């Protein structure tokens, strides 16, 4: 597996990361190196091995349905670049 | 089967419809956080740091949301996957602070199931039909954007962010707007019986993504479009109607259908392309590393199964087969869980089933309609109604007197017994009194009497009416009939 310039630009755009042409130029070989390195794992036959979902045997814990959180609007909005009347505000996005 | 077809200029087209219904799970708190899940709070007051996606926050699933999704699956006879997993669906939008929605793509909680829509000849559904449900998975809702509060900014309220949704994905088994409407209504009824979703479409507790394609009879499936977030049964039917006709127009003009997301405009009943999202469909799903697989014990699933109430189809069949109620009445009485509950409370108070069914359908529904009230807010309780019906059964009240007493119950809130005593509305079977009135009526209407005796038997009703009127409606109609026959004979 490898990526080309167009793929790198697309991934960056999906992740909302701005990249310059120079950065794309540098990133294509970097990512391909990493992908090649990881592809070595493909040499191991894992056809009879179940995917591992956790390092220690454990089950997903569920919680009871009670309200224990929320009502912390000031804390939630504290780091917002812009907030008004209890709302976050963002540049207008409309379909 | 539906006979619904779109009549194009080049011939007939069939419509194929699948629905993805998002149903908000009824719960106190959110799917992965302890913030409240209720509707209508002040903006951003029901948001925890988990919902706001602050760094380092970890999701912990709400057992009740899982339980309700499993119960819903069991109610549509679906396979329950005792091993399921959460995945991240990645996309950037201002209503989703995490940058991904936690959902279940690869291993949903609930697998293949189905429900039955009923025949409805008027709507073109000629016989009952089974609609497949491909899967139900559990996922987070997003926040809400408001665009009309500020000239250049959108406001974001994250109260809904993280609320639990069930996404219920149907098979493309529907072939007309009416079938889609019937499916949604039946699904909504089941959810409300089960108690896993309140089904309130106005508040957004239930909304549908509508997949529509058209094809010539017998041909392969056409390319579909998906109209997002349609929030009423009527709008879903309108969206299908419009979208199917639009596709036929495009195809007949030699064009091609583009697989795309569309938006429904309720004001015009039309759909339009949502081009801005085209690019965003690369969701790059992957298993959420914050959450272990969800494993359910057999005991958990069995507890869910044991907790299911009698469901609408079973209840309706029982009303007909065991209680002897007409098919139509049984269908209406079981369509909404509140109606069925009220009706069964009435039976528990001792009312006879068929009489009670007729009374609820005509008198109670009539009154509630007039007062603009729902059955939960009925001014008359099941116990009070049962007392009224008993007074009819034991002959104290005639049908028309019962109507009068019911009106007074609605006005005053008093019991039927109290009203009968106070206003002297008891029906009389006193033959002496009735005979005296009949004699008077006959004496006052010699013309009609003459005509009746010369063969105009339809006038019998006239004499009954005059006698009842003279007795202010209080005479026992059976006794009046009997005595009149004797007097006229």
pLDDT tens-digit map of A7-65: 999 989 888 899 999 999 999 999 999 999 999 988 999 999 988 777 777 889 999 99
Question: Same domain, yes or no, for B242 and B384?
Answer: no
Determine the distance in angstroms separating the CA of A66 from the nearest CA of chain B, rounded to an integer.
Answer: 6
Q: What is the CATH number of the domain that holds B445?
A: 1.10.10.410
pLDDT given at position A53: 72
Identify whether residues B46 and B128 lie together within a single domain. Answer: yes
Determine the pLDDT at residue B361: 96
**Domains in chain A: how many in total?**
1
* Domain-located, residue B1: no
Report the number of distinct structural domains present in chain B.
3
Question: Is B207 a domain residue?
Answer: yes
Average of per-residue pLDDT across B440-469: 87
**In this complex, which of A13, A58, A65 lies closest to B28 when CB atoms are compared?**
A65
Determine, yes or no, domain membership for B79.
Answer: yes
List of chain A residues whose C-beta atoms are within 8 Å of the C-beta of residue B287: 53
Residue A31 lies in a domain: yes
Domain ends where: B300, B321, B350? Answer: B300
Whether the per-residue pLDDT at B24 is higher than 90: the answer is yes
On whether the CB atoms of residues B174 and B183 are closer than 8 A, the answer is: yes
Taking the Cβ of residue B25 and every Cβ of chain A, the question of whether any pair is shorter than 8 Å is answered with no
B478: pLDDT confidence band, cut at 50, 70 and 90? confident
* Domain presence at residue B398: yes
Domain residues for the domain of A19 are 5-42
Q: What is the pLDDT of residues B80-136, one digit of tens each?
A: 999 999 999 998 888 999 999 999 999 999 999 999 999 998 899 999 999 999 999
Same-domain pairing of B390 and B333: yes
Residues B445 and B418 in one domain: no
Interface test with B, best of A7, A62, A73, A91 (most B CBs within 10 A): A62
Residues B458 and B341 occupy one common structural domain:
no
pLDDT band at A90 (very low <50, low <70, confident <90, very high): very high
Distance from CA of A84 to the nearest CA of B (A): 8
User: Using a CB-CB distance cutoff of 8 angstroms, which residues of chain B are in contact with residue A61?
Assistant: 60
Residue B41 has pLDDT above 70, yes or no: yes
Residue B305 placed within a domain: no
Using pLDDT thresholds of 50, 70 and 90, give the confidence band for residue B276: low
Percentage of residues in chain B having pLDDT higher than 70: 98
Residues B353 and B403 in one domain: yes
Residue B279 has pLDDT above 60, yes or no: no
Does B284 share its domain with B389? no
Q: Is the pLDDT of residue B164 over 80?
A: yes
Q: Look at residue A23 and tell me if it is in a domain.
A: yes
Output the pLDDT for position B275: 65
Would the CB atoms of A87 and B157 count as touching at under 8 Å?
A: yes
Residues 80-139 of B with CB under 8 A from A: 85, 90, 92-94
Q: Global pTM?
A: 0.86
Kindly state whether residues B409 and B441 are assigned to the same domain: no
Q: Which domain holds residue B395?
A: 310-423
Residue B427: per-residue pLDDT: 74
Please indicate, yes or no, if residue B158 is contained in any of the structural domains: yes
Same domain, B136 and B107: yes
Higher pLDDT: A51 or B72? It is B72
Residue B278 has what pLDDT? 54
Indicate which CATH number applies to the domain containing A12.
1.10.20
- Based on the fold, state whether residues B284 and B316 are members of the same structural domain: no
Contact criterion met (CB < 8 Å) for B292 and A54: yes
% pLDDT > 90, chain B = 73
Q: What is the pLDDT of residue B280?
A: 53
If asked whether residues B287 and B315 sit together in one domain, one would say no
CA closest to B86 among chain A residues = A60
On whether residue B123 sits in a domain, the answer given is: yes
Same domain, B236 and B358: no
């Amino acid at each position: 597996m490898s990526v080309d310039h167009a793929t790198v630009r697309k991934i960056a755009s999906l992740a909302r990361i701005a990249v310059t042409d120079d950065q794309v130029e540098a990133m294509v070989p970097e990512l391909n190196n990493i992908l090649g390195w990881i592809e070595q794992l493909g040499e191991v036959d894992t056809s009879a091995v179940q995917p591992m979902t956790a390092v220690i045997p454990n089950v997903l814990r569920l919680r009871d349905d009670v309200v224990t959180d929320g009502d912390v609007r000031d804390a939630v909005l504290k780091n917002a670049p812009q907030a008004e009347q209890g709302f976050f505000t963002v540049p207008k996005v409309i379909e | 089967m539906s006979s619904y077809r779109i009549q194009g200029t080049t011939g007939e087209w069939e419509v194929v419809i699948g629905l993805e219904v998002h149903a908000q799970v009824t719960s106190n708190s959110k799917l992965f956080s302890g913030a409240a899940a209720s509707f209508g709070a002040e903006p951003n007051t029901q948001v925890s740091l988990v919902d706001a996606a602050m760094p380092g926050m970890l999701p912990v699933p709400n057992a009740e949301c899982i339980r309700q999704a499993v119960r819903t699956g069991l109610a549509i006879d679906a396979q329950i996957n005792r091993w399921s997993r959460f995945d991240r669906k990645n996309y950037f939008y201002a209503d989703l602070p995490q940058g991904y929605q936690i959902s279940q793509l690869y291993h949903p909680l609930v697998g293949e199931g189905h429900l039955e829509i009923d025949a409805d000849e008027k709507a073109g559904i000629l016989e009952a039909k089974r609609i497949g449900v491909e899967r139900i998975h559990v996922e987070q809702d997003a926040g809400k954007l408001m665009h009309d509060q500020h000239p250049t900014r959108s406001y974001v309220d994250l109260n809904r962010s993280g609320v639990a949704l069930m996404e219920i994905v149907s098979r493309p088994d529907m072939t007309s707007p009416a079938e889609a409407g019937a499916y949604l209504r039946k699904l909504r009824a089941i959810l409300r019986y089960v108690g896993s979703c309140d089904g309130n479409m106005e508040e957004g507790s239930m909304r549908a993504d509508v997949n529509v394609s058209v094809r010539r009879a017998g041909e392969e499936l056409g390319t579909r479009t998906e109209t997002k977030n349609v929030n009423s049964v009527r709008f879903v039917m309108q969206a299908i109607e419009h979208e199917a006709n639009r596709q036929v127009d495009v195809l007949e003009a030699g064009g091609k259908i583009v697989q795309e997301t569309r938006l429904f405009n309720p004001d015009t009943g039309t759909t339009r392309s949502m081009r801005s999202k085209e690019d965003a469909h690369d969701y790059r799903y992957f298993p959420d590393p914050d959450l272990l697989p969800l494993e359910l014990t057999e005991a958990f699933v069995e507890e869910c199964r044991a907790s299911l109430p009698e469901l609408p189809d079973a209840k309706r069949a029982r009303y007909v087969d065991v209680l002897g109620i007409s098919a139509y009445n049984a269908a209406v009485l079981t369509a909404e869980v509140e109606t069925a509950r009220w009706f069964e409370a009435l039976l528990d108070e001792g009312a006879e089933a068929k009489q009670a069914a007729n009374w609820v359908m005509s008198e109670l529904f009539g009154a509630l309609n007039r007062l603009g009230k729902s059955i939960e807010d009925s001014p008359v309780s099941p116990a009070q109604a049962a007392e009224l019906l008993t007074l009819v059964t034991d002959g104290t009240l005639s049908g028309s007197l019962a109507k009068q007493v019911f009106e007074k119950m609605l006005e005053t809130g008093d019991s039927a017994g109290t009203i009968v005593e106070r206003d002297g509305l008891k029906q009389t079977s006193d033959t002496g009194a009735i005979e005296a009135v009949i004699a008077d009526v006959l004496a006052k209407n010699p013309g009609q009497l003459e005509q009746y005796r010369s063969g105009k038997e339809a006038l019998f009703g006239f004499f009954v009416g005059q006698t009842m009127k003279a007795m202010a409606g209080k005479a026992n109609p059976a006794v009046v009939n009997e005595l009149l026959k004797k007097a006229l004979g």
